[in-house]
Structure 1
Amino acid sequence: MFIGNWMERGERYFSDALAVVDVAKGEAGRFTYRQMNRRADALAAHLRDVGGVRRGDRVALLATNGVEVLDAFFACGKLGAVFVPLNWRAHARECREVIELTSPRALIYGAEFRDTAAALLAAHAHGQPIFQHVLALGAPELPGAVAYDEVVGGEAAPPVSNEQVSEEDIVCLLFTGGTTGPAKAAQISYRMIAWNTLNTVVHELARGDVTLTHTPMFHTGGLLVYTLPLLTLGGTVVIMQRWTAEDMLTLIERERVSVLFCVPTQYQTMMASPRFASASFRSVRFLTSGGAPLPLPVIEAYRQTHGVVFKQGFGMTEFGPGIFSLAAAEAEARAGSIGKPNYFVDARVVGDDGAPVAAGEVGELVLKGPSACSGYFGDPAASREAVDAEGWFHTGDLARIDADGFYYIVGRKKDMFISGGENVYPLEIERVLYEHPAVAQCAVIGVPHGKWGEVGRAVVVRKAGAEVSESELLAHCGQSLARYKVPRQVVFMDALPVSPAGKILKRELLRMMAP
């Protein structure tokens, strides 16, 4: 069975239902499933017939969130080509490194990235230009580029498909967040997307649901959390080009959003908006948080102000976003937990010897299941290293399981430091700091110390208008933590470095704090 033709099936089952709302395009940005399939057919036919794109060829896209991201993804699915969404926040040099690694045959670029696209077109491999075909989204166009709108807005193309595509074919390359080191290109197969969709759907998604996609669609959060699962069910995906709290509050009400994923800092930013109390959340069935633990005061504020409930999730690029889920009924009583493994995921917490640890003990979280990626593109050594002899994927996350089977992330293996012979897990300290009403963002890192080896340094962003001193925060930590866990120093900053997915980049903090 050819499983890559999502939009052909979408048109077959939900033809006139609203599939996508591209907010930046106004009324012209509302597309039914039939229209989405026609756009995908048109782009696929053009890439095949004019661009020479075949099964396994890569197609790169350098553009902000918009319907074009889905056009390119679904067109690649029809051809058996591999979609490579580029991080538009990256430096041109970083984009070029990705291009030289993946050697895409075609490039689609947005007008605001014309200069970066021009630099990428100069990239060569084995003495030959990498790109054989270029499409431009809007003006100005580079010499030789084809106008994208003329391709998808022209006459209807005949249906496009490639029956040779199997479930193990790679449909896209998504780069890891790179929070602790260089990003790697996870190979996302049709099989992985199908099982991630099923893991997501079993947790109460419904055909009539509407979601807001606002996280960058070059990451798993933007493409796989709710976007593809809902477009498989017949739901509606509302795409924000760029996120602001004010726009999100407006769109939740206007588009009658029913399910929503954000990282904790975004929920906190919305809470700080003057419009938060008066905004309407009547259409919302539940909110989902991931990327970091959600502070209990945030859960309470949304429940008390709007009567909405939270689910906590946990995922990663290599295994999909739908790995763990904490039900809304447990959100407050189990605050800080990521819940239990989703239906088609096996999980363990193991020691250095690979054996499961006892309940309450800390070890590495390992995973097994059909939603695993197919290794890292162009990096066979990293692919082998990530999976052990028994087939368990090693996440690099430290975790523990309580007596009731609920999982808690303790921190990244690389973030842990040893102070006076004791293991210190920064996430435990960060959770305590977030309980202070003046703390908007925080991160804890280990820094060298002559006597104890390493000690903690907390880096804190205060909430707007809030005042708190270093001594007050250290005293606050001392009320809940053992002495060796209490940071020796608090540094205040206006903002913390974050990845495009909203995760705090501790490697950047370490670099900034280096003596």
Structure 2
Amino acid sequence: MIASGNLGMLCSSTADDSKTAIIDLSRESAVQYYTYGALRQRIENHARGIARHGLDRGSRIAILAANSADFLAAYFGIMCAGMVAVPVNYRLPPATIAYILRDCGAALVMTDAARRGMCPDGVPVVPLDTDMPDPPIPAGDGIAASVADNDPAVIIYTSGSTGRPKGVVLSHSAYLWTIRLRTQAAQYATERFLVAAPLYHMNALNTVKLALAGHATLVLMPRFSAADYVQAIFNYQCTWLTAIPTMIAMIDRQLVADLPGALTSVRTVRLGSEPLTQRILDHAHGLFPAARISNGYGTTEIGSVVFGTHPDSLPTPELSLGYPHPAVSIRLANGANLDADEGVLQVKSPAMMEGYLGLPEQTAAATTEDGYYITRDVMRRDHHGFYYFVGRSDDMFVCGGENIYPGDVERLLLTHPDVLQACVVPLPDPLKGFKPVALVVKHSGADLNEQQLKQYALAHGPAYQHPRSVHFVEHLPISGTEKIDRKASMALAAQLSSAPSAHQVR
């Protein structure tokens, strides 16, 4: 039950205070357990502590820290106090971190000890595990600030793949609409969620809110590692996972032969934040034989409720994202055609962002006149109305007059039994303009060479799509959000191909 319009009060006092809310694995010395009562107390204490700083309502407070219960208590406490939480990717370069803090106008930075040195001069710093009033605040004393529906609650900075990171402004009502919709559709109180993705990313933040609003138990890892992730599933009998396909590939590559047994406690696996392939889906089924595995979709700007089940109860095809959710408006745009069967996805829902912070022109460019967000994701719709991801419109490149989506080539390469992962990038070509070049991770022990894979691509797909060069690597570059880093992959491919530097091949 959600008792307030303030997102910071997501852990309602009507919940069972004695139930375990968070199992925190962030401290090497000991696992920390927090009940719902203790978590709410810490949130309210943070809210009171923040209020003592005398900040104006709506001030931005950044969090620069790894995953922990301390992070979540501060995160919800900031919003409870009527301020705006700004989780910051601590894996970014120092100059980019400093830019984000300036751009959002951070009045405070809350940080853990390991990242204290990353905070630039000029912004007050508060340790996450202090600033707690003494004595504690009695529960339910009205500490939560009143907020209007469209008041900003959170600013999430995008990865900056097209330039400097942009701050996506999300309101209390946008988040709460999503949470209410999902908690009304299913019961989560018996679930044990496992979160290893970073809390500065939308995937992890959405899952945390769903778990706490649904009165589940959240097992929180400080970061992802394949071995620790699998061990956490065993140790705490986790039932509900949210993961990025790259994480599944890393588990399969590193651990599948050493698993102590089937991961049968897992009942739900929601994959997202990255295109899903049949190869990864097959690996997931093998790792979690008792689980229902779904292909999730969402963006920071529109949230996680976009697709759902078919109104005629047709089963969702495995690689489909689903059928449009009835509470969301969706259309595909192919030029002026707004009812195409393939085109750029446009979405309108109550979960949409308020805009990009301080960037009215970019906000206007990302939205249509009638209020749809332009995702830049190219989708295909089948005759039953199910949607499938094709590729990013800004990843598409032209080779000899033919449009190539890297995802199409990657899906083809991944049908080869010896290929575990693939990333295709464009590099300059004097005749074709650009040419597809592939970085490939082979299955352990696989005997596969470049010419064999190129011939396989020619035999199973359009000739213009086949990679002109294939480079086998031990692992693909991974971003701070555990996804394949296409910009770093392009730089690596350029280096391996003795091509110009990455900034020359964009």
TM-score, normalised with respect to structure 1: 0.88
Check whether the contact 2:246–2:483 (CA below 8 A) recurs between aligned residues.
Answer: no
Task: State the AA in 2 paired with 1:394.
Answer: I
**Does residue 300 of structure 2 align to residue 309 of structure 1?**
no
Deviations 1:193-222, CA, capped at 9 Å, x for gaps: 112224444664522211111101001011
**Shift of the alpha carbon at 1:412?**
0.9
Q: Which residue of 2 aligns with 1:263?
A: 244
Change in Cα spacing, 1:28 to 1:310, as seen in structure 2 (3 Å) is closer
Q: Which residue of 2 aligns with 1:37?
A: 40
Q: Secondary structure at the residue paired with 2:379? A: strand
Q: Which residue of 2 aligns with 1:113?
A: 115
Check whether the contact 1:299–1:309 (CA below 8 A) recurs between aligned residues.
Answer: no
Q: Which residue of 1 aligns with 2:74?
A: 72
Check whether the contact 1:216–1:222 (CA below 8 A) recurs between aligned residues.
Answer: yes
Work out which of the residue numbers 333, 343, 351 in structure 2 matches 1:350. 333
Q: Secondary structure at the residue paired with 2:237? A: coil
Check whether the contact 1:252–1:280 (CA below 8 A) recurs between aligned residues.
Answer: no
Structure 2: how far apart are the matches of 1:398 and 1:228? 29
Structure 2: how far apart are the matches of 1:461 and 1:181? 28
**Shift of the alpha carbon at 1:257?**
1.1
Structure 1: how far apart are the matches of 2:235 and 2:448? 38
Structure 1: how far apart are the matches of 2:338 and 2:305? 25
Check whether the contact 1:250–1:279 (CA below 8 A) recurs between aligned residues.
Answer: no
**Does residue 402 of structure 2 align to residue 422 of structure 1?**
yes
**Shift of the alpha carbon at 1:393?**
0.6
Q: Which residue of 2 aligns with 1:55?
A: 57
Check whether the contact 2:59–2:107 (CA below 8 A) recurs between aligned residues.
Answer: yes
Task: State the AA in 2 paired with 1:356.
Answer: D
Q: Which residue of 1 aligns with 2:125?
A: 134
**Does residue 164 of structure 2 align to residue 182 of structure 1?**
yes
Change in Cα spacing, 1:7 to 1:436, as seen in structure 2 (3 Å) is same
Structure 2: how far apart are the matches of 1:275 and 1:252? 17
Residue pairs, 1:385-424, within 5 angstroms: 385-424=365-404
Change in Cα spacing, 1:163 to 1:91, as seen in structure 2 (3 Å) is closer
Change in Cα spacing, 1:492 to 1:374, as seen in structure 2 (3 Å) is same
**Shift of the alpha carbon at 1:418?**
1.8
Check whether the contact 1:45–1:160 (CA below 8 A) recurs between aligned residues.
Answer: no
Structure 1: how far apart are the matches of 2:89 and 2:414? 30
Work out which of the residue numbers 423, 438, 446 in structure 2 matches 1:443. 423
CA-atom RMSD, angstroms?
2.5
Q: Which residue of 2 aligns with 1:145?
A: none
Change in Cα spacing, 1:2 to 1:211, as seen in structure 2 (3 Å) is closer
Q: Give the length in aligned residue pairs.
A: 486
**Shift of the alpha carbon at 1:510?**
3.2
**Shift of the alpha carbon at 1:427?**
0.6
Residue pairs, 1:302-381, within 5 angstroms: 302-304=284-286, 306-325=289-308, 334-353=317-336, 355-357=338-340, 359=341, 362-381=342-361
Task: State the AA in 2 paired with 1:475.
Answer: Q
**Shift of the alpha carbon at 1:10?**
2.3
**Does residue 449 of structure 2 align to residue 458 of structure 1?**
no
Comparing 86-95 with 174-183, greater Cα deviation is found at: 174-183
Change in Cα spacing, 1:203 to 1:480, as seen in structure 2 (3 Å) is farther
Residue pairs, 1:119-268, within 5 angstroms: 120-122=120-122, 131=123, 133-137=124-128, 148-149=129-130, 151=132, 154-158=134-138, 159-201=141-183, 204-224=186-206, 226-268=207-249
Q: Percent identity?
A: 27
Task: State the AA in 1 paired with 2:429.
Answer: H
Structure 2: how far apart are the matches of 1:134 and 1:289? 36
Change in Cα spacing, 1:245 to 1:498, as seen in structure 2 (3 Å) is closer
**Shift of the alpha carbon at 1:169?**
0.8
Structure 1: how far apart are the matches of 2:259 and 2:10? 42
**Shift of the alpha carbon at 1:229?**
1.2
Q: Which residue of 2 aligns with 1:491?
A: 471
**Shift of the alpha carbon at 1:65?**
0.4
Check whether the contact 1:173–1:187 (CA below 8 A) recurs between aligned residues.
Answer: yes
Q: Structure 2: which 5+ runs fail to align?
A: 501-506
Q: Structure 1: which 5+ runs fail to align?
A: 123-130, 138-147
**Shift of the alpha carbon at 1:447?**
2.5
**Shift of the alpha carbon at 1:78?**
1.3
Change in Cα spacing, 1:16 to 1:55, as seen in structure 2 (3 Å) is same
Task: State the AA in 2 paired with 1:102.
Answer: C
Deviations 1:124-174, CA, capped at 9 Å, x for gaps: xxxxxxx3x42124xxxxxxxxxx34627x421253535531121111111
Check whether the contact 1:80–1:169 (CA below 8 A) recurs between aligned residues.
Answer: no
Structure 1: how far apart are the matches of 2:382 and 2:10? 45
Q: Which residue of 2 aligns with 1:143?
A: none
Q: Which residue of 2 aligns with 1:383?
A: 363
Check whether the contact 1:179–1:505 (CA below 8 A) recurs between aligned residues.
Answer: no
Structure 2: how far apart are the matches of 1:299 and 1:205? 25
Q: Which residue of 2 aligns with 1:87?
A: 89
Q: Secondary structure at the residue paired with 2:26? A: helix
Deviations 1:38-78, CA, capped at 9 Å, x for gaps: 101111111111x2233200111111000122112211221
